[in-house]
Structure 1
Amino acid sequence: MTTSDIEAKLVRIGVVAERIGISERTLRYYEEFGLVTPSAYSRGGARLYDENVINRVSHIRSLQSLMGFNLDEIKDILSVEDNLDQLRNEYRMGTKPKKELITTEMRILVNLKS
C-alpha cells in the first residue's frame, strides 16, 4: 500500500467537521484538549483523519449533546474506554496461545492413552 493509497482513505478536517456538524475550530480544540489526534498529516501539513477518529468525534458530540457531559468528563470517559479496549485486545491476544497450548496438551494426552 502506497502513501497515496493511505491518504485516499483519510479525510481533511473540513470534511470531518461537515460530516459531524461542528466547526473546524471545535475539532482543533478537541485536539488541543487531548480528545483526538489526527491520523496523519498531508505533505502540506493538513490534518487527516481516518474513520476511527471520525467515529470518536461523533461519540464526543453525543456525550456532550445527549448526555450533557463536559469536556473534562468526556476526557475521563474516553480514557476509561481506551483502557478497556486495550485490555480486551490484550486478553484476546493472550487467549490464543493458551488455547493452542491446551490443544497441544490434549493431543499429547490422547497419544499417551493410545
Structure 2
Amino acid sequence: MVLVPSVMSSWGCMVLTEPPAQPTLFYPARGVTAGCARDATEIADALGALLGPARAAILLGAGTARTTSQVARDADIAISTASHHLSVLRGGGLIASERDGARMLHLRTPLGEAMVGAML
C-alpha cells in the first residue's frame, strides 16, 4: 500500500484501488492546509502573542544571518536590547549565533524554522 499525504483534501482520506495502480491511501497532510490561508500579519501576530512582538520580529527576520547591529536597526531597538532578545532566543534554541571575525551573526536554528513554519 502506498501512503500519500495530500494538501488537496482536509476533510478525510481517499483510497485508490483500481488496477493497475497499487492500492493507495491519500490522507490530509497535517498542518499544511490550514496554514496556506494565513497571511504574514496573522503569522507575526501569532508569534508576537507567544514570544512578544520584538522577539517575534527578530525570529521572523532571522531567516538570513544578521549582525546584532542589523537586528537592532531592523527592529528599531537599542543594540543592548537586541542583544538581550537574541540571548533569550538563543537560550530557547531558536537562534544560533556564530562569530565572524569581530562580529556575531545570528540565524534561526532548525527549531526556530519549525516554530516559524508551524505558524504558516
- The answer to whether TM tops 0.5 is no
Greater helix proportion: 1
Between Structure 1 and Structure 2, the one with more strand by share is 2
The normalised TM-score by structure 2 is 0.29
